[in-house]
Amino acid sequence: MLNFTFCNPTKILFGKGMIKDIAKEIPKEAKIMITYGGGSVKRNGVLDEVKAALPGYDIDEFAGIEPNPAYETLMRCTEKVRDQKIDFLLAVGGGSVIDGTKFIAAAANFAGEPWDIVKSFGRGVRQALPFGAVLTLPASGSEMNSGAVITRLATKTKLPISNPHLFPKFSVLDPTKTFSLPASQIGNGVVDTFVHITEQYLTYPVMGKVQDRLAEGLLLTLIEEGPQALADPENYDVRANLMWCATLGLNGLISAGVPQDWATHMIGHELTALHGLDHAKTLAIVLPAMLRIRKDDKKQKLLQYAERVWGISRGDEDARMDEAIDKTREFFERMQVKTRLCDYGITAEAIPAVVEQLKAHGMVKLGEKFNVTPEMVEKILGQCL
Q: How far is the CB of 246 from a second copy (least distance, A)?
A: 10
Q: Is 256 in the site for a second copy (CB under 8 A)?
A: yes
> Cβ(205)–Cβ(150) under 8 Å?
no
Q: Mask: binding to a second copy, 185-224, rule CB under 8 A, as x and -?
A: ---------------------xxxxx--xx-xxx-xx--x
Distance between CA atoms of 13 and 15, rounded to whole angstroms? 7
What are the DSSP calls for 232-264, one per residue? Answer: -TT-HHHHHHHHHHHHHTTSSTTTTTS----HH
Q: How far is the CB of 14 from a second copy (least distance, A)?
A: 5
Q: Rank residues 184 and 235 by Cβ distance to a second copy and give the closer one.
A: 235
Q: Kindly provide the b/e burial profile for residues 89-127, where b requires at least 16 CB atoms within 10 angstroms of the residue's own CB.
A: bbbbbbbbbbbbbbbbbbbbebeeebeebbeeebebbee
CA distance between the termini of the chain: 37
Q: Is 358 in the site for a second copy (CB under 8 A)?
A: no
Q: Is 294 exposed, middle or buried (0-12, 13-18, 19+ CB in 10 A)?
A: buried
C-alpha distances in Å from residue 151, one per residue of 74, 159, 185: 10, 6, 20
Number of residues that bind a second copy (CB under 8 A): 43
AA letter at 49: E
Q: Mask: binding to a second copy, 153-192, rule CB under 8 A, as x and -?
A: ----------------------x-----------------
Distance between CA atoms of 269 and 247, rounded to whole angstroms? 20
Q: How far is the CB of 289 from a second copy (least distance, A)?
A: 28
Q: Mask: binding to a second copy, 275-304, rule CB under 8 A, as x and -?
A: ------------------------------
Q: How far is the CB of 359 from a second copy (least distance, A)?
A: 35
Q: What SS3 class is residue 371?
A: coil
- Closest among 325, 285, 283, 286 to 302, alpha carbons compared: 325
> Cβ(140)–Cβ(192) under 8 Å?
yes
Q: Rank residues 17 and 45 by Cβ distance to a second copy and give the closer one.
A: 17
Stretch that binds a second copy, among 252-260, 261-269, 321-329, 373-381 (CB under 8 A): 252-260
Q: Mask: binding to a second copy, 4-23, rule CB under 8 A, as x and -?
A: xxxxxxxxxxxxxxx-----
> Using the rule CB under 8 A, which residue among 19, 139, 248, 291 binds a second copy?
248
Q: How far is the CB of 175 from a second copy (least distance, A)?
A: 8
Stretch that binds a second copy, among 234-242, 262-270, 330-338, 354-362 (CB under 8 A): 234-242
Distance between CA atoms of 80 and 68, rounded to whole angstroms? 21
Q: How far is the CB of 15 from a second copy (least distance, A)?
A: 3
Q: Rank residues 237 and 343 by Cβ distance to a second copy and give the closer one.
A: 237
Stretch that binds a second copy, among 97-105, 155-163, 235-243, 280-288 (CB under 8 A): 235-243
Q: Rank residues 2 and 360 by Cβ distance to a second copy and give the closer one.
A: 2
Q: Is 53 in the site for a second copy (CB under 8 A)?
A: no
Q: Is 337 in the site for a second copy (CB under 8 A)?
A: no
- Closest among 364, 367, 385, 383 to 375, alpha carbons compared: 364
Q: How many CB atoms lie within 10 A of CB 213?
A: 12
Distance between CA atoms of 225 and 245, rounded to whole angstroms? 10
Binding site for a second copy (CB under 8 A): 1-18, 175, 206-210, 213-214, 216-218, 220-221, 224-225, 236-237, 240-241, 244-245, 248, 253, 256-257
